[in-house]
Chain A
Amino acid sequence: MMNSRDVVLQTTSQVTVFIIMTFSGFLFLAGHNNPGGGFIGGLMSAAALVLLALAYDLKTMRQALPVNFHYVTATGLLIAIFSGMGSFVFGAPFMSQAYDYFTLPLLGEVELATAMIFDLGVYLAVVGVTMTIILSIGEDR
């Protein structure tokens, strides 16, 4: 944003962004049993994108990630509400969550909970919201 020729920053951020992204994914997936979850995960990935924007500039960040963040927010909200409405199919009240254990290839026995779908909605919504705010303020000249 401020200077686009900071080689050290740009080089380190090329690496760091992926680490942060991974960490954000980890936080999101670990949320059910360990500290973390959709909210923190979403904020963390937004932080990675902000780092990208700081190291290069907003334009570059936009090119690297050509996404309209309004859609991200909307997708998150839709996932959240549809995951809640999914319980209607089974005749249960709105937002009844369920979980079970499955044996998947490569991963072995895994616990899958419908709450994760909802958390995914939260994750996307938080990413979309944070990025919208930062971008609209940042691009304001």
Chain B
Amino acid sequence: MSMLHGVILLPFAAAAIVPLFYKLFKKVHTGWFVLPVPLLAFLYFIAELPSISKGEAIQATVEWIPSLGVDITAYLDGLGLLFALLITGIGALVVLYSIYYLSKEKEAIHRFYMYLLLFMGAMLGVVLSDNLIVLYGFWELTSLSSFLLIAFWYNRDHSRYGALKSMLITVFGGFAMLTGFILLHTMTGTFSLREIIDQAGLLSSHELFAPAMILVLLGAFTKSAQFPFHIWLPDAMEAPTPVSAYLHSATMVKAGLYIVARFGVVFGGDALWFWIVSLTGLVTMLWGSYTAVRNTDLKAILAYSTISQLGLIMSLLGLGSASFYTGGADTAIYTAAIMTAVFHLINHATFKGALFMVVGIVDHETGTRDIRKLGGLMAFMPVTFTFALIGTLSMAGLPPFNGFLSKEMFFTALLEVSTMDFFNVQSWALLFPVVAWIASVFTFVYCLIILFRTFTGPFPKEELGEPPHEASLGLLIPPGILAALVIVFGLFPNLLTYTLIEPAMKAILPTLDIVEAKKISFWHGFNTELKMTLGVIALGVVLFLTKRYWMRIYGYLPGNLSFSKIYDFLLKGSQRFSRAITDTYMTGSLRHYMIYIFAFLVLVGGYFLLRINPFERHGNIVFAEITVYEAILTGVLILAAAAVPFAKSRMAAIVLVGTVGYMVTLFFIVFRAPDLALTQMIVETVSVALFLLCFYHLPKLQRERSSSRMRIFKIILSGSVGLLVTMIALAVSNHQLFDSISDYFVEESYRSAGGKNIVNVILVDFRGFDTFLEIMVLAAASLAIYSLIKVRHRTEQGEQEEGRS
């Protein structure tokens, strides 16, 4: 146990106690007890900042399952620290915000904080784990706690739908990632990320390399809401707003980015990785920003905007992976992409967190999030409007906010990467900047929509009633801090460059010798990037003003075929499909099940009989002569048995079955088994008597009505079962491989057991235990019959009495 373990454990410990505080201190909002947890953790990570900045790393191990190579190894380097600071810092702000957002009287806040703390601990575990299995465990815990948080208002249909959707998609990705981890273990023989990275160079030629890469990416893409797995994120907006701000903008959705950044060193440098990651990122970015414009719910717009921004960071990570390919030389332009990714990751967390909180305030004060009903709030909520202004303009990429800087750097990276002369990039060179530029235009448009549709224009009094007032101070402080950070990072962009961004870059690119962060300058001349930004602004304004003329294109693309509909179709379809399959073979008819069983027997048995060809002679086997008695008895037996299916009445069938039984008795006599003959005779008599006893109560014998095709099939099936069993019997008698043990019984029966009847001695002495259990079986059967009949009586009587009363 180290401090680091303690910090990861802290939220879990707190989650265990928090409900207790809720019960004990009814008067105090439980959130106040929770607030110190992320604060303390944040302070701890801040305290580690100087040493990590120098390039050191903290590693501590607690053994868990050493025999499987699974240890709880906490590892803190630049990348881990960056995420840990985001998680704890924004966590603290979200807790503060939620104190004022959630009412302690109306909501079950003890559950809320328990889930939130669980999530916080799980998220810290994800980013600080070195062992892949432990990482996966925490990964699934984030899925689980996110599921619980989305369905926090569980009596709403939409919440449950959204929670289920996110659960299904992220857990699907999680399983894929686990498989990828196991493949990595197969390749390297270790679950430790550090040790895998040490072997990174050797992996690319391994045949499992590509499958492992794709599986790990599946996990990352589903979690980070990348195309086409982005569909769960908009539905996750049914969660309380603090949850959306925390999980679905700042932390959990970035877990996938973390995975891509972490595994870049393992898989990067490969063309496949480069193309998958950067193309998925670009497509997600474009699709997210395009779809965001269509939505009218503020949180849905923000959700699609998050998707788009995550795609942006993802594509940057993909482009940056080219630096692994080039190795030492000429890496600066590719590491710049990584730097941009890290920088934008921080920026996005700040402004998106602020925007979600602003939307939460608007929702809280007006009761709606629909932009069609909102308007003119600027006059009533000036502070909120200011925060919204800062957030949206930063997101749109306008100076002087931090979004501007990261967008400029993004364009730079794209323009420079498109000059790449490997991975077949040249033929697609224009694709990157053009797609990114279009996506930026749409981003600009929805930012304007958020800002102007909510805060300007006339106030719709008939929709909202009384004008709202400014939110309380507690609700305003957290977005205020985030908005302040947006400006601070915008005006002093190098504040974090060498303390946080450079260590993170070094952690993402650990195998490269020289990784240096470039100084971020606010102004780098009137260059292509700036012209692109100006173009974005110009076209964005035009599109915003003419919005109602071109909104119709959403009827054609995506039109009726959105990915959520595909998801619904798949989910319902798979339910219907499995139901249809089950309905086809689970008919409830015993006859059908018998057919399956016998058909299986015939197919499997017949297959093996054909395969092993058992009809060669083994050993010295002499078959006995066939006597006249045996021939006659066999003939009668066959006749009687063959007549049973044709019997017209039940009486005839019973008599025929009895005949078979007595023939068997005679067989026992011929084959010199007097005990068996006696037993068989009496048992046969008793069972025929029982048949006759039941005879009166049974309905008339009915012919089974089935199609002639079915009948022929049944005849063939029963014929082949008979044939198979006969063949097996013949095959078995061909293989007398060992001497029989019966000699022992013959010798020892009188000598050691004192009996001359060998059968009886075997039954009661040598193998008495079998006999004992057999009489147990008989006893159980008799009790079963007894209770069956008596219990039926009792229920019938009970029903009659009920009917009378």
Q: Which residues of A contact B (CB under 8 A)?
A: 27, 31-40, 43-44, 46-47, 50, 70, 73-74, 76-77, 80-81, 84, 94-95, 97, 99, 111, 113, 115, 118-119, 121-122, 125-126, 128-130, 132-134, 136-138, 140
Contact = CB atoms under 8 A, between A and B. Distances in A.
Q: How large is the interface on B (under 10, 10 to 19, 20 to 34, 35 or more residues)?
A: 35 or more
Interface string B766-779: 00110110011011
Nearest to A46: B686
A69 to B, nearest CB: 8
B683 interface: yes
Contacts of B763: 37, 39
B226 to A, nearest CB: 67
B768 A97 contact: yes
B693 A125 contact: no
A8 B478 CA distance: 107
B775 A121 contact: yes
Contacts of A31: 757, 760, 764
A137 B756 contact: no
Interface of B: 674-675, 678-679, 682-683, 685-686, 689-690, 693-694, 753-757, 759-761, 763-765, 768-769, 771-772, 775-776, 778-779, 781-783, 785-786, 789-790, 793
Contacts of B793: 140
Given A34-B756, A129-B781, A136 B689 contact: no
Contacts of A46: 686
Contact of B778 (A47, A129, A134): A129
A58 to B, nearest CB: 12
A115 B761 contact: yes
A118 to B, nearest CB: 5
Contact of B675 (A37, A73, A118): A37
26 contacts: A31-B764, A32-B755, A32-B760, A33-B757, A35-B675, A37-B675, A38-B764, A40-B682, A47-B685, A76-B775, A76-B779, A84-B768, A94-B769, A95-B772, A97-B768, A115-B768, A125-B778, A129-B775, A130-B782, A132-B783, A132-B785, A136-B785, A136-B789, A136-B790, A137-B693, A137-B785
Contact of A37 (B686, B760, B778, B785): B760
Contacts of B782: 73, 128-130, 132-133
A95 B769 contact: yes
Contacts of B757: 31-37
A74 B783 CA distance: 11
Contacts of B775: 76-77, 80, 121-122, 125-126, 129
A77 B779 contact: yes
A37 B762 CA distance: 11
A70 B771 CA distance: 19
A38 B782 CA distance: 18
Nearest to B674: A35
A53 to B, nearest CB: 11
Given A111-B754, A115-B768, A130 B686 contact: yes
Please provide the 8 A-B residue pairs with the shortest distance between their CB atoms, ordered closest to farther. A99-B754, A35-B674, A33-B756, A132-B782, A32-B755, A129-B782, A125-B775, A43-B682
Contacts of A34: 756-757
B760 A97 contact: no
A19 to B, nearest CB: 16
B679 A113 contact: no
A4 B689 CA distance: 19
Contacts of A50: 686, 689
B764 A40 contact: no
Contacts of B678: 27, 35-36, 40
A37 B763 CA distance: 9
A122 B760 CA distance: 12
Contacts of B761: 32, 115
A84 B753 CA distance: 15
B700 to A, nearest CB: 20
A131 to B, nearest CB: 9
Contacts of A27: 678
Contact of B753 (A43, A81, A99): A99
B650 to A, nearest CB: 16
Contact of B764 (A70, A118, A132, A138): A118
A35 B755 CA distance: 11
Contacts of B683: 43
